[in-house]
Amino acid sequence: MKTRVLGASDLEVSALGLGCMRMSFGDKPTDKKEMINFLRQSVDEGVTFFDTAEVYGPFTNESLLGEALSSVNKDKLIIATKFGFKHSAQGTGPTPNEGFDSRPAQIKRVAEESLKRLKVDCLDLFYQHRVDPNVPIEDVAGAVQDLIKEGKVKHFGLSEASADIIRRAHAVQPVTALQSEYSIWWRDIEAEILPTCEELGIGLVPYSPLGRGFLTGAITKSTTYDKGDIRSHNPRFTAEAIDANQAVVDLLIRIGQQYQATPAQVALAWLLAQKPWIVPIPGSRNLARLRENNASTDLNLTLNDLSDIASAMANINVVGNRY
């Protein structure tokens, strides 16, 4: 596996990370033993960058990584986790439905609990999961800075933040990475966010780089989802949207035929070709799929390919909001 450095930091990670959310959240249930084995296999396949969050589960995703990777030399691994959602009054943990909570005291409490669940002495990358409109971003950055000074966090990250928020946070505590949705069919961050990251030396970690599975070409109008799967109520996964957006997959198939590559590999290679400090985190729970994704790091699209894709996408109207 090739490696990349996130922005101007010294944080070197595998060129593709692994999004772990669906191992215990937002999809049909999985077998814990199978996921532990898969996580260890992913390390053997060269993955060194793992993405989780306290809200995934809640809590169970961090605990899963902590258990799975406890026997692995963590000096070679980078585990990113997140804070920022309000904890339920019923004590069931954080949930997006409860709202945001990035008060400094809450950030520090979450960090302590994440350290325990992940079984580490220091959090490699600590993201604010979503911007809290009730807490100044300067206070958030200051709280993470305190944790960095205490040796409990190494790097500060933001997720789905605006260019203004990024700049304000970065002025207090340098931001190492921004996590935002970005893919060949969701490119809204290109106007302001990408230039801001490049200017400030901030790495980009795209989530949903395969369009929640759609860009793999495996999803059709007849595909069904468990009621807990977030795609079951996603506007881009209605039968009408799937039919309309097939043009994107057809484009990926056409480009891939030149290289004997799958649509997923072309979609990931396209992202990797945008900037050298971009590190996508496709989610996977299957070794064959992981290997397919990882092979995209060896697919070098030409300038003609990228121009061809850009021209084609300019004439494709993607149907359906992302949420």
SS3 205: strand
How far apart, in whole angstroms, are the C-alpha atoms of residue 159 and residue 113? 20
Element (H, E) at 297: none
Q: Is 259 part of the annotated catalytic residue set?
A: no
Beta strands in 63-102 (DSSP E): 78-83
CB atoms within 10 A of CB 80: 28
* CB-based contacts of 25-30 (< 8 A; 24+ apart in sequence): 25/55, 25/56, 25/57, 25/58, 25/60, 25/61, 26/56, 26/228, 26/229, 26/230, 27/226, 27/228, 27/229, 27/230, 28/226, 28/228, 28/229, 29/228, 30/285
Whether the CB-CB separation of 176 and 146 falls below 8 Å is answered with no
Q: Which of 56, 127, 182, 207 is catalytic?
A: 56
- In sequence order, the 6+-apart residues with CB closer than 8 A to the CB of 156 are 125, 126, 141, 144, 145, 148, 169, 173, 174, 175, 176
Please give the positions annotated as active site.
56
